Amino acid sequence: MKVRKYVISLFLILTFAAPAYCATKDTARLLILEGNARYSEEKFEEAIAEYEKVLSMGYESGPFYYNLGNAYFKHGELGRAILNYLRAARLMPQEADLKANLNYARSLVKNGRVTLGRNWYARLFFALADSFSLDSITFVFMILYFTLALLVILAITKTGPGKVYLYVNSALFAVLIISVSLFAIKYKKEILEKEAVCVVERSDSKFEPSIGGTTFFTLNEGEPITVTASKKDWVKIRRQDGKQGWIKRTDIDLL
């Protein structure tokens, strides 16, 4: 009897969930079209309002975040523009127009971008990681893993020239190690860490979570940071140069 109830419940959920999902998707599509129309009319505040409705519905895509970033940029909100460009970059890191707009927006951050000094090879490696999405790196890793496993099996069974398999396996293993390292960087950056962007003109970072606390450094609108802890209305953040402090939760928005 219980099994029958579960089956009926599951049937009802599937029956009504699909039309509801389609309706939500259609609504999101209409809102995006309306936002695009307002953007083309240079009514950027209205365009943002339509796009934000879509965002509240849980919809996301690279082009959508790109359009939202453009609308915020045209409206003069640099921090939220960079925030949405970075969100778009996670989904379509190879998009040339997105890269150009993001780099230009970053160039407008007051006092320039604060970065951690790295060796040239570290900068190259991190830049390579930023050139691919987490999904694409995962896909390449799986392909390499299974290819390498197959070649190892063939080498063990000696079904082909040993030296060829040795050279190929060595090359694939090296590429596999690189892909694992890239995956670790992207996973840590996008999943484990809470990245955010300062969305107010300036935010004073304190030594402690208190209005009366001593200011350690100041964040400027558009600066990317990492959230490391939270306490009521405050969050502890780490700037890209390694400095840490407490700022108001409302001064940032998470990616």
Three-point CA angle 4, 6, 9, nearest 5°: 110
pLDDT digits (tens, 9 = 90+) for 209-255: 888 889 999 999 999 998 888 888 999 998 888 899 999 999 999 88
Structural element, H or E, at residue 224: strand 224-231
Q: Find the range with the poorest average confidence among 41-50, 95-104, 182-191, 231-240.
A: 182-191
Residues 100-119, mean pLDDT to the nearest whole number:
78
Cβ proximity of 201 and 217 under 8 Å? no
Percent of the chain with pLDDT over 70: 71
Question: What's the CA gap between 196 and 247, in Å, rounded?
Answer: 12
Distances (CA, A) of 106 to 36, 72, 80, 86, 253: 24, 14, 12, 11, 16
Look up residue 2 and give its amino acid: K
**CATH class of the domain defined by 2-107:** mainly alpha
pLDDT digits (tens, 9 = 90+) for 37-81: 999 999 999 999 999 999 888 888 889 999 999 999 999 999 999
Superfamily name and number for 194-254: SH3 Domains (2.30.30.40)
* pLDDT confidence of residue 10: 44
Residues 153-176, mean pLDDT to the nearest whole number:
65
Place of tokens 């790295």: 118
